[in-house]
Chains A and B, each alone.
Chain A
Protein backbone atom coordinates (compact mmCIF):
# COMPACT_ATOMS: atom_id res chain seq x y z
CA UNK A 1 0.00 0.00 0.00
CA UNK A 2 1.42 3.36 -0.94
CA UNK A 3 1.37 6.16 1.59
CA UNK A 4 1.97 9.81 0.82
CA UNK A 5 3.73 10.50 4.11
CA UNK A 6 6.26 7.79 3.24
CA UNK A 7 6.95 9.45 -0.10
CA UNK A 8 4.52 7.27 -2.10
CA UNK A 9 6.29 4.12 -0.95
CA UNK A 10 5.30 1.30 1.38
CA UNK A 11 5.21 2.03 5.06
CA UNK A 12 8.18 0.37 6.84
CA UNK A 13 7.28 -2.75 8.80
CA UNK A 14 8.59 -1.45 12.10
CA UNK A 15 6.27 1.58 11.89
CA UNK A 16 3.29 -0.70 11.34
CA UNK A 17 4.33 -2.78 14.32
CA UNK A 18 4.71 0.21 16.64
CA UNK A 19 1.33 1.80 15.76
CA UNK A 20 -0.27 -0.60 18.23
CA UNK A 21 2.17 0.61 20.92
CA UNK A 22 1.07 4.19 20.24
CA UNK A 23 -2.56 3.20 20.67
CA UNK A 24 -1.87 2.12 24.26
CA UNK A 25 -1.22 5.69 25.46
CA UNK A 26 -4.16 8.06 25.93
CA UNK A 27 -4.58 10.61 23.14
CA UNK A 28 -3.91 13.58 25.43
CA UNK A 29 -0.59 12.14 26.55
CA UNK A 30 0.25 11.31 22.94
CA UNK A 31 -0.20 14.96 22.00
CA UNK A 32 2.19 16.03 24.79
CA UNK A 33 4.79 13.45 23.71
CA UNK A 34 4.41 14.76 20.13
CA UNK A 35 5.23 18.24 21.40
CA UNK A 36 8.44 16.93 22.93
CA UNK A 37 9.43 15.02 19.78
CA UNK A 38 8.76 18.12 17.65
CA UNK A 39 11.07 20.12 19.91
CA UNK A 40 13.75 17.47 19.44
CA UNK A 41 13.35 17.49 15.65
CA UNK A 42 13.84 21.25 15.64
CA UNK A 43 17.10 20.76 17.51
CA UNK A 44 16.01 22.02 20.93
CA UNK A 45 16.76 18.79 22.78
CA UNK A 46 14.41 16.27 24.31
CA UNK A 47 13.24 15.94 27.92
CA UNK A 48 13.42 12.18 28.34
CA UNK A 49 12.29 12.33 31.97
CA UNK A 50 9.03 13.99 30.97
CA UNK A 51 8.34 11.34 28.37
CA UNK A 52 9.05 8.60 30.89
CA UNK A 53 6.55 10.19 33.27
CA UNK A 54 3.90 10.46 30.53
CA UNK A 55 4.30 6.82 29.53
CA UNK A 56 4.48 5.47 33.07
CA UNK A 57 0.68 4.94 33.18
CA UNK A 58 0.76 2.64 30.21
CA UNK A 59 3.54 0.70 31.95
CA UNK A 60 5.98 0.93 29.07
CA UNK A 61 9.38 -0.71 29.28
CA UNK A 62 12.39 1.31 28.21
CA UNK A 63 12.33 -0.40 24.78
CA UNK A 64 8.71 0.66 24.25
CA UNK A 65 9.46 4.28 25.18
CA UNK A 66 12.33 4.43 22.70
CA UNK A 67 10.16 2.79 20.04
CA UNK A 68 7.42 5.39 20.61
CA UNK A 69 9.87 8.27 20.23
CA UNK A 70 11.37 6.66 17.11
CA UNK A 71 8.05 6.06 15.39
CA UNK A 72 6.76 9.58 16.18
CA UNK A 73 10.05 11.11 14.90
CA UNK A 74 9.70 9.12 11.70
CA UNK A 75 6.05 10.02 11.09
CA UNK A 76 6.50 13.74 11.81
CA UNK A 77 9.79 14.25 9.94
CA UNK A 78 8.60 12.15 6.98
CA UNK A 79 5.36 14.11 6.74
CA UNK A 80 7.28 17.41 6.81
CA UNK A 81 9.77 16.08 4.27
CA UNK A 82 7.04 15.27 1.75
CA UNK A 83 4.89 18.32 2.61
CA UNK A 84 1.87 16.25 3.50
CA UNK A 85 -1.22 18.16 4.68
CA UNK A 86 -2.48 17.34 8.15
CA UNK A 87 -5.82 15.97 6.88
CA UNK A 88 -4.22 13.42 4.57
CA UNK A 89 -1.73 12.50 7.32
CA UNK A 90 -4.66 11.90 9.69
CA UNK A 91 -6.52 9.68 7.23
CA UNK A 92 -3.38 7.70 6.37
CA UNK A 93 -2.58 7.11 10.04
CA UNK A 94 -6.13 5.88 10.59
CA UNK A 95 -5.67 3.50 7.65
CA UNK A 96 -2.63 2.13 9.46
CA UNK A 97 -4.75 1.40 12.49
CA UNK A 98 -4.19 4.38 14.78
CA UNK A 99 -7.43 5.28 16.64
CA UNK A 100 -9.23 8.44 15.45
CA UNK A 101 -8.58 10.65 18.53
CA UNK A 102 -4.88 9.78 18.54
CA UNK A 103 -4.55 10.57 14.84
CA UNK A 104 -6.42 13.88 15.20
CA UNK A 105 -4.30 14.93 18.18
CA UNK A 106 -1.07 14.03 16.42
CA UNK A 107 -2.07 15.89 13.26
CA UNK A 108 -3.07 18.98 15.18
CA UNK A 109 0.40 19.21 16.80
CA UNK A 110 1.92 18.56 13.36
CA UNK A 111 -0.12 21.30 11.72
CA UNK A 112 0.92 23.91 14.30
CA UNK A 113 4.59 23.18 13.85
CA UNK A 114 4.75 22.22 10.18
CA UNK A 115 6.41 25.42 8.89
CA UNK A 116 9.06 25.75 11.62
CA UNK A 117 9.84 22.05 11.22
CA UNK A 118 10.27 22.41 7.47
CA UNK A 119 12.51 25.44 8.01
CA UNK A 120 14.77 23.58 10.42
CA UNK A 121 14.94 20.61 8.02
CA UNK A 122 15.90 23.02 5.23
CA UNK A 123 18.80 24.43 7.24
CA UNK A 124 19.96 20.91 8.05
CA UNK A 125 20.12 19.93 4.36
CA UNK A 126 23.45 19.09 2.84
CA UNK A 127 25.59 22.14 2.37
CA UNK A 128 29.28 21.96 1.74
CA UNK A 129 30.78 25.30 2.69
CA UNK A 130 29.42 28.69 3.67
CA UNK A 131 30.98 32.02 2.88
CA UNK A 132 31.30 33.76 6.20
CA UNK A 133 32.76 37.12 5.26
CA UNK A 134 34.79 38.98 2.66
CA UNK A 135 37.36 41.63 3.43
CA UNK A 136 39.35 43.66 0.93
CA UNK A 137 42.17 46.13 0.69
CA UNK A 138 43.46 48.19 -2.22
CA UNK A 139 47.17 48.94 -2.38
CA UNK A 140 48.91 51.31 -4.74
CA UNK A 141 52.37 50.23 -5.91
CA UNK A 142 54.44 53.39 -6.21
CA UNK A 143 57.68 52.08 -7.61
CA UNK A 144 59.65 48.88 -7.86
CA UNK A 145 63.18 47.74 -8.58
CA UNK A 146 62.27 47.38 -12.28
CA UNK A 147 60.58 50.70 -12.89
CA UNK A 148 60.72 53.89 -10.87
CA UNK A 149 57.16 55.10 -11.39
CA UNK A 150 54.67 52.23 -11.28
CA UNK A 151 51.41 53.65 -9.83
CA UNK A 152 49.42 50.45 -10.21
CA UNK A 153 46.54 49.56 -7.89
CA UNK A 154 46.41 46.04 -6.44
CA UNK A 155 43.35 44.46 -4.80
CA UNK A 156 43.75 42.02 -1.87
CA UNK A 157 40.72 39.85 -1.16
CA UNK A 158 40.22 37.58 1.83
CA UNK A 159 37.27 35.13 1.93
CA UNK A 160 36.50 33.47 5.24
CA UNK A 161 34.97 30.08 4.50
CA UNK A 162 33.12 28.07 7.14
CA UNK A 163 33.47 24.32 6.77
CA UNK A 164 30.14 22.45 6.74
CA UNK A 165 30.92 19.69 9.27
CA UNK A 166 33.54 20.97 11.58
CA UNK A 167 32.25 24.53 11.82
CA UNK A 168 35.79 25.96 11.74
CA UNK A 169 36.47 29.01 9.61
CA UNK A 170 39.36 29.07 7.18
CA UNK A 171 40.72 32.19 5.50
CA UNK A 172 41.30 32.14 1.77
CA UNK A 173 43.38 35.07 0.54
CA UNK A 174 44.19 36.20 -2.97
CA UNK A 175 45.63 39.17 -4.82
CA UNK A 176 44.07 40.47 -8.02
CA UNK A 177 45.63 43.00 -10.37
CA UNK A 178 43.50 45.95 -11.48
CA UNK A 179 42.91 44.56 -15.00
CA UNK A 180 41.81 41.14 -13.77
CA UNK A 181 39.59 42.71 -11.14
CA UNK A 182 37.78 44.75 -13.80
CA UNK A 183 37.18 41.57 -15.81
CA UNK A 184 35.87 39.84 -12.69
CA UNK A 185 33.44 42.66 -11.98
CA UNK A 186 32.22 42.94 -15.56
CA UNK A 187 31.33 39.26 -15.30
CA UNK A 188 30.61 38.67 -18.93
Chain B
Protein backbone atom coordinates (compact mmCIF):
# COMPACT_ATOMS: atom_id res chain seq x y z
CA UNK B 1 0.00 0.00 0.00
CA UNK B 2 1.60 3.27 -1.05
CA UNK B 3 1.21 6.66 0.62
CA UNK B 4 -0.13 9.22 -1.82
CA UNK B 5 1.34 12.63 -1.08
CA UNK B 6 -0.34 15.82 -2.31
CA UNK B 7 1.56 18.44 -4.33
CA UNK B 8 1.58 20.85 -1.41
CA UNK B 9 2.97 18.14 0.84
CA UNK B 10 5.73 17.36 -1.65
CA UNK B 11 6.58 21.05 -1.83
CA UNK B 12 6.86 21.29 1.96
CA UNK B 13 9.09 18.26 2.10
CA UNK B 14 11.18 19.62 -0.78
CA UNK B 15 12.84 21.92 1.71
CA UNK B 16 14.50 18.90 3.30
CA UNK B 17 16.73 18.37 0.23
CA UNK B 18 18.28 21.78 0.70
CA UNK B 19 19.72 21.02 4.14
CA UNK B 20 22.20 18.37 5.15
CA UNK B 21 21.26 15.08 6.76
CA UNK B 22 22.17 16.09 10.33
CA UNK B 23 19.51 18.79 10.15
CA UNK B 24 16.97 16.35 8.73
CA UNK B 25 17.71 14.05 11.65
CA UNK B 26 17.14 16.96 14.00
CA UNK B 27 13.83 17.78 12.30
CA UNK B 28 12.81 14.15 12.66
CA UNK B 29 13.53 14.27 16.38
CA UNK B 30 11.53 17.51 16.73
CA UNK B 31 8.61 15.95 14.80
CA UNK B 32 8.48 12.94 17.15
CA UNK B 33 8.76 15.20 20.21
CA UNK B 34 5.83 17.25 18.93
CA UNK B 35 3.78 14.07 18.52
CA UNK B 36 4.51 13.15 22.11
CA UNK B 37 4.03 16.49 23.83
CA UNK B 38 2.45 19.02 21.47
CA UNK B 39 3.96 21.74 19.27
CA UNK B 40 6.26 24.48 20.47
CA UNK B 41 6.47 27.34 17.93
CA UNK B 42 9.59 28.79 19.57
CA UNK B 43 11.66 25.94 18.19
CA UNK B 44 10.72 27.02 14.66
CA UNK B 45 12.07 30.53 15.33
CA UNK B 46 15.41 29.21 16.61
CA UNK B 47 15.86 26.83 13.69
CA UNK B 48 14.84 29.52 11.15
CA UNK B 49 17.48 31.89 12.48
CA UNK B 50 20.20 29.23 12.38
CA UNK B 51 19.42 28.10 8.83
CA UNK B 52 18.66 31.57 7.50
CA UNK B 53 15.18 30.82 6.15
CA UNK B 54 11.72 31.97 7.20
CA UNK B 55 10.08 30.09 10.09
CA UNK B 56 7.12 29.19 7.86
CA UNK B 57 9.35 26.99 5.71
CA UNK B 58 10.69 25.23 8.81
CA UNK B 59 7.17 24.75 10.15
CA UNK B 60 6.00 23.26 6.85
CA UNK B 61 9.00 20.98 6.73
CA UNK B 62 8.45 19.63 10.25
CA UNK B 63 4.69 19.30 9.73
CA UNK B 64 5.25 17.50 6.45
CA UNK B 65 7.55 15.07 8.21
CA UNK B 66 5.02 14.57 11.04
CA UNK B 67 2.26 13.85 8.54
CA UNK B 68 4.47 11.36 6.71
CA UNK B 69 5.20 9.52 9.95
CA UNK B 70 1.63 9.48 11.25
CA UNK B 71 0.12 8.33 7.95
CA UNK B 72 2.73 5.59 7.66
CA UNK B 73 2.21 4.42 11.26
CA UNK B 74 -1.58 4.62 10.94
CA UNK B 75 -1.65 2.35 7.90
CA UNK B 76 1.24 0.24 9.21
CA UNK B 77 2.93 0.18 5.80
CA UNK B 78 5.91 -2.08 5.28
CA UNK B 79 9.50 -0.89 4.73
CA UNK B 80 9.36 -1.40 0.99
CA UNK B 81 6.11 0.53 0.63
CA UNK B 82 7.49 3.38 2.72
CA UNK B 83 10.64 3.50 0.63
CA UNK B 84 8.62 3.53 -2.61
CA UNK B 85 6.36 6.30 -1.30
CA UNK B 86 9.37 8.43 -0.38
CA UNK B 87 11.09 7.69 -3.73
CA UNK B 88 8.42 9.83 -5.40
CA UNK B 89 9.83 12.88 -3.60
CA UNK B 90 13.15 12.51 -5.40
CA UNK B 91 15.37 12.65 -2.35
CA UNK B 92 18.94 11.42 -2.17
CA UNK B 93 19.64 7.80 -1.21
CA UNK B 94 21.00 8.89 2.17
CA UNK B 95 17.91 10.97 2.96
CA UNK B 96 15.65 8.07 2.02
CA UNK B 97 17.51 5.77 4.37
CA UNK B 98 17.31 8.35 7.16
CA UNK B 99 13.56 8.77 6.75
CA UNK B 100 13.07 5.01 6.70
CA UNK B 101 15.08 4.63 9.90
CA UNK B 102 13.05 7.40 11.56
CA UNK B 103 9.82 5.66 10.54
CA UNK B 104 10.88 2.23 11.78
CA UNK B 105 12.23 3.48 15.11
CA UNK B 106 9.17 5.47 16.07
CA UNK B 107 6.37 3.47 14.50
CA UNK B 108 5.26 1.63 17.63
CA UNK B 109 5.21 4.71 19.81
CA UNK B 110 3.28 6.76 17.26
CA UNK B 111 0.75 3.95 16.97
CA UNK B 112 0.20 3.92 20.73
CA UNK B 113 -0.29 7.72 20.75
CA UNK B 114 -2.76 7.48 17.86
CA UNK B 115 -4.61 4.72 19.72
CA UNK B 116 -5.44 7.12 22.53
CA UNK B 117 -7.19 9.52 20.16
CA UNK B 118 -10.24 7.28 19.60
CA UNK B 119 -13.55 8.57 21.09
CA UNK B 120 -14.44 7.14 24.47
CA UNK B 121 -17.72 6.53 26.23
CA UNK B 122 -18.13 7.60 29.86
CA UNK B 123 -16.34 5.09 32.01
CA UNK B 124 -16.93 3.89 35.56
CA UNK B 125 -15.28 5.92 38.29
CA UNK B 126 -16.95 4.90 41.56
CA UNK B 127 -20.26 3.89 43.10
CA UNK B 128 -21.94 4.93 46.35
CA UNK B 129 -25.03 3.18 47.65
CA UNK B 130 -27.54 3.48 50.47
CA UNK B 131 -30.28 1.16 51.75
CA UNK B 132 -33.44 2.93 52.95
CA UNK B 133 -36.73 1.65 54.29
CA UNK B 134 -39.85 3.74 53.85
CA UNK B 135 -41.93 3.41 57.00
CA UNK B 136 -44.80 5.78 56.30
CA UNK B 137 -45.97 8.40 53.88
CA UNK B 138 -48.65 11.06 53.95
CA UNK B 139 -51.11 8.69 52.27
CA UNK B 140 -50.28 5.44 54.07
CA UNK B 141 -48.92 4.70 57.52
CA UNK B 142 -47.15 1.58 58.79
CA UNK B 143 -45.47 0.44 55.61
CA UNK B 144 -42.23 -1.43 55.01
CA UNK B 145 -40.77 -0.55 51.61
CA UNK B 146 -37.01 -1.10 51.15
CA UNK B 147 -35.18 0.84 48.43
CA UNK B 148 -31.57 0.99 47.33
CA UNK B 149 -30.31 4.43 46.22
CA UNK B 150 -27.22 4.36 44.03
CA UNK B 151 -25.01 7.24 42.93
CA UNK B 152 -22.90 6.26 39.93
CA UNK B 153 -19.84 8.43 39.30
CA UNK B 154 -18.75 8.44 35.65
CA UNK B 155 -15.62 9.87 34.08
CA UNK B 156 -15.35 11.04 30.47
CA UNK B 157 -12.10 12.65 29.33
CA UNK B 158 -11.62 14.13 32.77
CA UNK B 159 -15.19 15.43 33.22
CA UNK B 160 -17.00 13.86 36.12
CA UNK B 161 -20.75 13.29 35.92
CA UNK B 162 -23.03 11.54 38.36
CA UNK B 163 -26.20 9.55 37.80
CA UNK B 164 -28.62 8.89 40.64
CA UNK B 165 -30.65 5.68 40.46
CA UNK B 166 -33.10 4.05 42.82
CA UNK B 167 -34.38 0.51 42.80
CA UNK B 168 -36.01 -2.05 45.09
CA UNK B 169 -33.94 -5.06 46.22
CA UNK B 170 -35.76 -7.54 43.93
CA UNK B 171 -34.87 -5.56 40.80
CA UNK B 172 -31.31 -5.19 42.04
CA UNK B 173 -30.99 -8.96 42.43
CA UNK B 174 -32.39 -9.43 38.94
CA UNK B 175 -29.88 -6.90 37.59
CA UNK B 176 -27.02 -8.73 39.31
CA UNK B 177 -28.23 -12.02 37.86
CA UNK B 178 -28.35 -10.57 34.33
CA UNK B 179 -24.84 -9.13 34.67
CA UNK B 180 -23.49 -12.45 35.93
CA UNK B 181 -25.08 -14.15 32.94
CA UNK B 182 -23.33 -11.63 30.69
CA UNK B 183 -20.00 -12.46 32.34
CA UNK B 184 -20.80 -16.14 31.94
CA UNK B 185 -20.99 -15.65 28.18
CA UNK B 186 -17.21 -15.33 28.14
CA UNK B 187 -16.95 -19.00 29.05
CA UNK B 188 -19.02 -20.32 26.15
CA UNK B 189 -17.30 -22.10 23.29
CA UNK B 190 -18.10 -19.33 20.81
CA UNK B 191 -16.34 -16.62 22.88
CA UNK B 192 -13.45 -18.91 23.78
CA UNK B 193 -12.82 -19.62 20.08
CA UNK B 194 -12.76 -15.91 19.22
CA UNK B 195 -10.50 -14.98 22.13
CA UNK B 196 -8.08 -17.76 21.23
CA UNK B 197 -7.90 -16.51 17.64
CA UNK B 198 -7.29 -12.90 18.64
CA UNK B 199 -4.44 -13.90 20.94
Partners in one complex: yes
Decide: A128 and B149 in contact? CB cutoff 8 A: yes
Taking CB atoms and an 8 Å cut-off, the chain A residues in 143-172 that contact chain B are 164-165
A126 contacts B by Cβ under 8 Å: yes
A126 to B164, CA, bound (A): 11
Report B113-150 CB contacts with A as 1/0, cut-off 8 Å. Answer: 00000000000000011100000001000000000010
| Chain A residues bordering chain B, tally (CB within 8 A) | 6
How many residue pairs link A and B with beta carbons under 8 A? The number is: 13
Decide: B138 and A126 in contact? CB cutoff 8 A: no
Interface secondary structure of B, over-half rule: strand
B97 contacts A by Cβ under 8 Å: no
Decide: B130 and A125 in contact? CB cutoff 8 A: yes
B151 contacts A by Cβ under 8 Å: yes
Closest partner residue, chain A, to B166 (CB atom):
A128
A145 to B149, CA, bound (A): 49
B162 contacts A by Cβ under 8 Å: yes
A63 contacts B by Cβ under 8 Å: no
Decide: B138 and A165 in contact? CB cutoff 8 A: no
What range describes how many residues of B lie at the interface? under 10
A125 to B130, CA, bound (A): 8
A contact residues around B164 at 8 Å (CB) = 128
A187 to B164, CA, bound (A): 29
Decide: A187 and B138 in contact? CB cutoff 8 A: yes
A contact residues around B130 at 8 Å (CB) = 125-126
Decide: A126 and B162 in contact? CB cutoff 8 A: no
Report A118-130 CB contacts with B as 1/0, cut-off 8 Å. Answer: 0000000110100
A164 to B130, CA, bound (A): 14
Q: Which of B129, B149, B162 makes the CB contact (< 8 A) with A165?
A: B162
Q: Tell me, rounded to whole Å, the shortest Cβ–Cβ distance linking B71 to chain A.
A: 41
B contact residues around A128 at 8 Å (CB) = 149, 151, 164
A164 to B129, CA, bound (A): 14
B contact residues around A126 at 8 Å (CB) = 128-130, 149, 151
A contact residues around B138 at 8 Å (CB) = 187
Taking CB atoms and an 8 Å cut-off, the chain A residues in 29-78 that contact chain B are none
Closest partner residue, chain A, to B160 (CB atom):
A165
Closest partner residue, chain B, to A165 (CB atom):
B162
Q: Tell me, rounded to whole Å, the shortest Cβ–Cβ distance linking B104 to chain A.
A: 36
A125 to B162, CA, bound (A): 16
A187 to B128, CA, bound (A): 33
Q: Tell me, rounded to whole Å, the shortest Cβ–Cβ distance linking A82 to chain B.
A: 14
B contact residues around A187 at 8 Å (CB) = 138
Closest partner residue, chain A, to B162 (CB atom):
A165
A164 to B128, CA, bound (A): 12
Closest partner residue, chain A, to B164 (CB atom):
A128
Closest partner residue, chain B, to A127 (CB atom):
B130
For this complex, 12 residue pairs linking A to B, each with C-beta atoms less than 8 Å apart, are A125-B128, A125-B130, A126-B128, A126-B129, A126-B130, A126-B149, A126-B151, A128-B149, A128-B151, A128-B164, A165-B162, A187-B138
The 10 lowest CB-CB distance pairs between A and B, nearest first, are A126-B130, A126-B128, A126-B151, A165-B162, A125-B130, A126-B149, A128-B164, A126-B129, A187-B138, A128-B149
Knowing that A125-B128, A126-B149, A126-B151 are A-B contacts, what are 10 other residue pairs whose CB atoms are under 8 Å apart, sorted by A's residue number? A125-B130, A126-B128, A126-B129, A126-B130, A128-B149, A128-B151, A128-B164, A164-B151, A165-B162, A187-B138
